[in-house]
Amino acid sequence: MDYQPQPDAAWAVLQPVLGAPAALGALPAFADTDAALMQQVLDEAGKFVGEVIAPLNRSGDEIGAQWNSGAVTMPPGFREAYQQFWQSGWPALASATEDGGQGLPAVLECVLYEWMSAANHGLTMAPGLLHGAYECLKHHGSDELKARYLSKIATGEWLATMCLTEPHAGSDLGLARTRATPQTDGSYLLSGTKIFISGGEHDLTDNIVHLVLARLPDAPPGPKGLSLFLVPKFYQDGQRSKVVCDRIEEKMGLHGSPTCVMRFDDAQAWIVGEPGKGLNAMFVMMNAARLHVALQGIGLLDAAWQKADAYARERRQMRAPGSAARTGEADRIDAHPAVQRILDTQRAWVDCGRVLAYRTGIELDMARHHPDATRRTQAQRWCALITPVLKAAWTDQAFHGGSDCLQVFGGHGYVREWGIEQIVRDSRVAMIYEGTNEIQAIDLLVRKTLPDGAQALDALLNDLLADLGEHPATALGRTATGLFTELRDAAHALGKAAPHDAAAPYWVAGDFLRLMALALMAWAGARIEAAARTEPALASDRWQRPLTALAHWVLPEATLRAGLIRARCAVQPVSA
């Protein structure tokens, strides 16, 4: 069974829960984007993903991308599907019209990529990096570079890469050694080796644009010595650049996406942005990419849930406790509490994850297009604080919850035939790339929360409380309010501990992120609960059972996490 996008479920989150059409329609940029247009886009996206992208998932895993003497052949059907994808305008959905895009809200792109990832994580890696590259080039590229590359990237006619990691420089990009030597014509020659480059080489498009972190000859050591450069696979004159794919990695999963070792051998390149500001330019790409990875997590978990739910409705084993059935030999396994609990819990993670991720997509639109600077600042705060939580918690859940869904199949789950084990293997990488989940936790706590005395976090939580106040009071709303207090208390305890115990925040950063994820889940659940008062579809078992599971089985973990943080703040440091 291939993944099937459910436009109705996405729309239920976008319209009754989040009121997206009204919020976005109020922006001058989207004055022409009404609910009907949004629904039409979703319907077409759902059809495209279900019919063209999803059927290639299994063979993408089994055949995989193949390397041969520097060339990479993608799995059968991938090139045709990608060509159809960009020619139908999907990559350019939210790009500016002046760059060849459709200028639609970013939140629609979020839904599209969630479905794409659910349907075929490997293939989706290729266009997944386009959007960050587009933003990066648009904001930091010279007019000449933009003229050459921006519309090709905006439309997806050419694909792009982010070349950051080196063998000894992973989480610590400051250790990167790739050199850039200035030439008299204003260009540079790049030399060095980059690893873990998704889509570094492939046959999906006629050209590939690499964005590469490298070091100028006079650059200081560390992150401040890094600049960003652009090298295409083919130059304007059709000549091939001195960029070689030395091999692709054999991986646990994600076989449909070539993970390349790229060697730059005095390759001619152009600088993007200011010398020494390479990481700043790259962070533009990374924030977009992190939300994208969060959506992968949500999508893959939904794909796992779809499979497990369908299996549990067919498979019969034993009598369920308290079963009234007297016919047949056994009950459907979705009547067994252990299976129900797994299914409803994962459904809760998907539903609440969507509320949060789609709302983040809307905030991205606000940050870009709202006429009021205060509202834009508020939206940027939302994105800065919530993106790392979504990235880490929902990719964790894709893997662990995906494994729970595998468990529903018993022994059949371990066998390739059912496709669920592929989801578990594919999803594992999302906990690592675009900043490991440990790095996300440090980003949230140590970089974005503690330095300003938790003011930004306080402001975000006040926004969320004010938002709750605008909707009917619910049980989950009360839980969310309590968890926000726990989260503030945790932030303040860590703020007090850190000056005399510098390591304390690093020990419990993961717990802090998890506590925040649970608090946000409660908020998201409360918004579904509130919307269900007026929207009958949301009052059904489909939406309400996951909320019950959320309250019973998911949210109690928050107390554990808060306790771990408090205990660490009370403990004297073990070492200096």
Q: Which residues are catalytic?
A: 434
Q: Enumerate residues 6+ apart whose C-beta is below 8 A from 7.
A: 39, 42, 43, 45, 46
Residue (184 or 326) nearer to its own copies, CB = 326
3-state secondary structure string, 342-356? HHHHHHHHHHHHHHH
Integer Cα distance of 22 and 24 in angstroms = 6
Residue (244 or 248) nearer to its own copies, CB = 248
- Contact between 416 and its own copies by CB under 8 A: the answer reads yes
Integer Cα distance of 483 and 273 in angstroms = 42
- Contact between 506 and its own copies by CB under 8 A: the answer reads yes
To the nearest whole angstrom, how small is the minimum distance from the Cβ of residue 237 to its own copies? 35
Helix (H, G, I), strand (E, B) or coil at 362: helix
> At 313, phi and psi to the nearest 5?
-80, -15
- Contact between 293 and its own copies by CB under 8 A: the answer reads no
Integer Cα distance of 23 and 16 in angstroms = 12
Integer Cα distance of 549 and 348 in angstroms = 7
Q: Could you tell me the two tokens for 401?
A: 């919850």
| Choices 143-151, 154-162, 386-394, 559-567 (CB under 8 A): range interacting with its own copies | 559-567
> What are the b/e assignments for 460-484, b being 16+ CB within 10 Å?
bbeebeeebeebeebebbebbbebb
- Contact between 415 and its own copies by CB under 8 A: the answer reads yes
- Contact between 397 and its own copies by CB under 8 A: the answer reads no
> Which single residue is written with the structure tokens 């084993």?
317
Give me the helix-helix angle, 121-128 and 278-314, nearest 10°: 160
Residue (183 or 323) nearer to its own copies, CB = 323
29 and 103 Cβ atoms separated by less than 8 Å: yes
Sign of the C-alpha dihedral computed for residues 379, 381, 386 and 392 taken in this order? positive
Q: Could you tell me the two tokens for 429?
A: 């990488």
Integer Cα distance of 476 and 320 in angstroms = 29
- Residue 210, amino acid: H
Residue (95 or 437) nearer to its own copies, CB = 437
Residues 189-208 that bind its own copies (CB under 8 A): 195-196
- Contact between 568 and its own copies by CB under 8 A: the answer reads yes
- Give the one residue of 70, 186, 220, 337 binding its own copies; rule: CB under 8 A: 337
To the nearest whole angstrom, how small is the minimum distance from the Cβ of residue 166 to its own copies? 11
Residues 149-178 that bind its own copies (CB under 8 A): 165, 168-172, 174-175
Residue (34 or 438) nearer to its own copies, CB = 438
Integer Cα distance of 548 and 137 in angstroms = 45
- Contact between 76 and its own copies by CB under 8 A: the answer reads no
- Contact between 411 and its own copies by CB under 8 A: the answer reads yes
Integer Cα distance of 198 and 433 in angstroms = 10
- Contact between 255 and its own copies by CB under 8 A: the answer reads no
- Give the one residue of 1, 147, 325, 338 binding its own copies; rule: CB under 8 A: 338
| Choices 148-156, 347-355, 473-481, 551-559 (CB under 8 A): range interacting with its own copies | 551-559
- Lay out the site mask for its own copies across 419-458 (x = CB under 8 A, - = otherwise): --x--xx--xx-xxx--xxx--xx----------------
Q: What is the largest CA-CA distance in the chain?
A: 86
To the nearest whole angstrom, how small is the minimum distance from the Cβ of residue 321 to its own copies? 4
Residues 359-388 that bind its own copies (CB under 8 A): none
| Choices 202-210, 298-306, 483-491, 566-574 (CB under 8 A): range interacting with its own copies | 566-574
Residue (130 or 441) nearer to its own copies, CB = 441
- Contact between 503 and its own copies by CB under 8 A: the answer reads yes
- Residue 246, amino acid: D
- Give the one residue of 138, 146, 251, 492 binding its own copies; rule: CB under 8 A: 251
149 and 141 Cβ atoms separated by less than 8 Å: yes
| Choices 42-50, 53-61, 413-421, 469-477 (CB under 8 A): range interacting with its own copies | 413-421
To the nearest whole angstrom, how small is the minimum distance from the Cβ of residue 312 to its own copies? 13
Residue (466 or 574) nearer to its own copies, CB = 574
Report the relative pairing of strands 71-73 and 159-163 from DSSP bridges: unpaired
- Contact between 572 and its own copies by CB under 8 A: the answer reads no
* Site size with its own copies, rule: CB under 8 A: 81
- Contact between 482 and its own copies by CB under 8 A: the answer reads no
Q: Could you tell me the two tokens for 452?
A: 């300003």
- Contact between 329 and its own copies by CB under 8 A: the answer reads yes
- Residue 321, amino acid: P
| Choices 144-152, 277-285, 287-295, 332-340 (CB under 8 A): range interacting with its own copies | 332-340
- Contact between 229 and its own copies by CB under 8 A: the answer reads no
